[in-house]
Structure 1
Amino acid sequence: MQIVLFSSGSLSLKLIPYLFQNFSKLILVTKPDKPQDRHLKVKPNIVKQTFLENSTKFSKDTTIFEFESLKKIEQKEKLDELKRILKETDIAICCDVGLIIPESFIDLPKIFINIHPSLLPLYRGPSPIQYTLLNDEKITGITICLLSKEVDKGDIILQKIIKIEEDDNFVTLKEKLSQLALTSFTTFLDLYKNNSINFYKQDDEKATFTLKIKDTSIDLSKGPIFIHNQVRAYFPDAYITFKNKRIKILKTKIVERSELNLDLKENDLFLFSKNRLFFRGFTNKLSEILELQVEGKKPINSISFINGYLKNV
């Protein structure tokens, strides 16, 4: 059985070893190597890296296609080769790829599925995990549906649900959803092999949509719960600007103001005591800062920040 995986992001990481263990022919379509880290060293993305590691581990020949776009005319020869392969493919999988897949690709394999990290029709689009956290949802999940011309609108094959924990952030929740993506795919595969797939139309009236998140600055004009959820959703890149420095806020929690028996000082951004730090707020709840990272420095706790940056206030 031949599988083509379209992926560039970490949602597929748990799935890749399973594919190598269970299928004879594997093809990856992913984004090209790019400069990464502060040294701007050109490296493969995490999906390509994992794919190559498993190719070596399982001693399997694989093919990797790299595209910045699947619509560039100058890459016509390579795109035609990919189309030829898709015509011979049993299952094509779109999972966290970050590329727009042309409509002409959709009907080439026997089945082309989309593994999406939300309970569709909720949170269609590129940022479902972040929006789920921003909106303080208590559950989320994986949807496997048919790939469709319109984004994340294909008929649903199956869904699996998980609970969102209070301390989940973007990274931890995506890790859980990566594991759930694998579990969901194995369920799909059983249905596929037994020719027992049922398809369910999405209710477009219930659809919600997400946009690509470009700005991860924290909007401090919002209430403490939304501030807390911004920290979770944008982790590890949520930030504020203080004394002309970018400060990443890595972890917060919600506390009741009435439960605090502290002598608090304040400035334009913070309320703080000797060992506790909060964003200023004007409700009965406060967002307490537990861990943060000053630009160019290592992560620190709130006590270290107070002693290093607020002691003269």
Structure 2
Amino acid sequence: MLRIVFMGTPDFAVPTLEALHGWSGCQVVAVITAPDKPAGRGQKLNESAVKQVAVQLGLPVLQPTNLKSPEFQEELRSYAADLQVIVAFRMLPEAVWNMPHLGSINIHASLLPQYRGAAPINWALIHGEQVTGVTSFFLRHEIDTGDLIYQDEVAIEPEDDFGSLYGKLKQAGAALALRTVQAIAAGTAPSTPQTDRGDLRPAPKLQKETGRLDFNQPAEALVNLVRGLSPIPTAFTHLPDGRGLKVFRAQALPGAPTAETPLGAWLTDGRSHLRVQTADGQLDLLDVQLEGKKRMPVGDFLRGFKLEMKKEE
């Protein structure tokens, strides 16, 4: 039976842990996850989603603060893992990922080598992709560059945003991880070097400014930005009176700028729609949140908050 150490932190990793634990061909001998973090007014310690599930399953949990610590590495070595499976965890030192005799594999939420980096789901949506997927690969020195094992495609539907696509990919990732581990156990897993191409797009960590809506951009590009950041961390802008506004859903409408509706103009009937003139059309805001208030459909927002702007007749 294959002895596995699992590493992961957010709920994206939970279905994979559950799938591996449920397969009779392997034994998850330990789970490595992030240390508990204080959260909320009372600064109550918040356990990672992976830790909560691991405890429910009765699995040993390690929460190192320093992966290079000799004490941690000695404890990790004591579990005598044949293979390590990593999903949504932090970068590992070579002494850790190279420890098992079968190596370490990672599940990445893109079709590598496209979208290497920390935020592949977000960037695939921001760039308007229609297909993405999940990849299993062997860990190597450079991030997300190891030899490919398997890939499964997942369609991106027009209505998908980060939240819905995240849900699809975490389930697809679990199925792929199980298939990969089964192939490694059987000695049939392929190992194909990645080939860099000129059209590769990176997936760097999101910054706050990533979400700022620039109305000089085409309307469809802004819709994709909204989709890629909804429901978190969320695209944002500021109303003409300066108040911050988060945007969770939007659609593109035709209509080039004119003298009456110049670039950046806000348009509303005060009842049912709120739009902004962009480079090639109008961004129709559908689901918004005023700073300090709750998320709501734009019709409810317009009925509840006075906007200082010109209303359409």
Aligned position for 1:293 = 289
Alpha-carbon deviations, 1:97-148, whole Å to 9, x = none?
1x21001222211231011000001011111111111110000000101011
Aligned position for 2:3 = 2
Q: Does 1:196 align with 2:192?
A: no
Distance between the aligned counterparts of 2:217 and 2:77, measured in 1?
Answer: 48
- Cα pair distance change 1:69/1:240, threshold 3 Å: farther
Unpaired segments ≥5 residues, structure 1: 259-263
Mapping 1:12-161, distance limit 5 Å? 12-22=13-23, 23-37=26-40, 40-53=43-56, 55=57, 60=58, 62-71=59-68, 75-85=69-79, 88-97=80-89, 99-109=90-100, 110-161=102-153
Secondary structure of the structure 2 residue equivalent to 1:192:
helix
Secondary structure of the structure 1 residue equivalent to 2:272:
coil
Larger helix proportion of the pair: 1
Alpha-carbon deviations, 1:207-240, whole Å to 9, x = none?
4322111214323232211211111112222222
Distance between the aligned counterparts of 1:252 and 1:143, measured in 2?
Answer: 30
CA contact (8 A) 2:5 2:31 kept: yes
Aligned position for 1:234 = 229
Q: Which amino acid aligns with 1:217?
A: G
Distance between the aligned counterparts of 1:205 and 1:172, measured in 2?
Answer: 29
Alpha-carbon deviations, 1:260-303, whole Å to 9, x = none?
xxxx99995522223112222241x3221111111222111111
- 2:248 is aligned, of 247, 250, 258, to 250
Give the drift of 1:308. Answer: 3.1
Secondary structure of the structure 2 residue equivalent to 1:47:
helix
Secondary structure of the structure 1 residue equivalent to 2:163:
helix
Structure 1 stretches of 4+ with a deviation exceeding 6 A read 264-267
CA contact (8 A) 1:270 1:279 kept: yes
- 2:201 is aligned, of 193, 197, 208, to 208
CA contact (8 A) 1:218 1:231 kept: no
Unpaired segments ≥5 residues, structure 2: none
- Cα pair distance change 1:230/1:37, threshold 3 Å: farther
Distance between the aligned counterparts of 1:252 and 1:26, measured in 2?
Answer: 46
Distance between the aligned counterparts of 2:54 and 2:112, measured in 1?
Answer: 28
Secondary structure of the structure 2 residue equivalent to 1:28:
strand
Alpha-carbon deviations, 1:27-56, whole Å to 9, x = none?
111111113356643211222222223x1x
CA contact (8 A) 2:246 2:288 kept: yes
Distance between the aligned counterparts of 1:266 and 1:122, measured in 2?
Answer: 37
Secondary structure of the structure 2 residue equivalent to 1:205:
coil
TM-score, normalised relative to structure 2: 0.86
- Which deviates more, 238-247 or 271-280? 238-247
Distance between the aligned counterparts of 1:120 and 1:224, measured in 2?
Answer: 29
Cα RMSD for the two superposed structures: 2.3
CA contact (8 A) 1:94 1:147 kept: no
CA contact (8 A) 2:263 2:279 kept: no
CA contact (8 A) 1:219 1:227 kept: yes
Distance between the aligned counterparts of 2:229 and 2:221, measured in 1?
Answer: 12
Distance between the aligned counterparts of 1:276 and 1:268, measured in 2?
Answer: 16
Distance between the aligned counterparts of 1:256 and 1:38, measured in 2?
Answer: 46
Alpha-carbon deviations, 1:164-214, whole Å to 9, x = none?
011111111111000101111222133223211121111123543221112
CA contact (8 A) 2:276 2:284 kept: yes
Distance between the aligned counterparts of 2:263 and 2:113, measured in 1?
Answer: 43
Aligned position for 1:261 = none
CA contact (8 A) 2:217 2:279 kept: no
Between the two proteins, the alignment pairs up a number of residues equal to: 295
Secondary structure of the structure 2 residue equivalent to 1:14:
helix
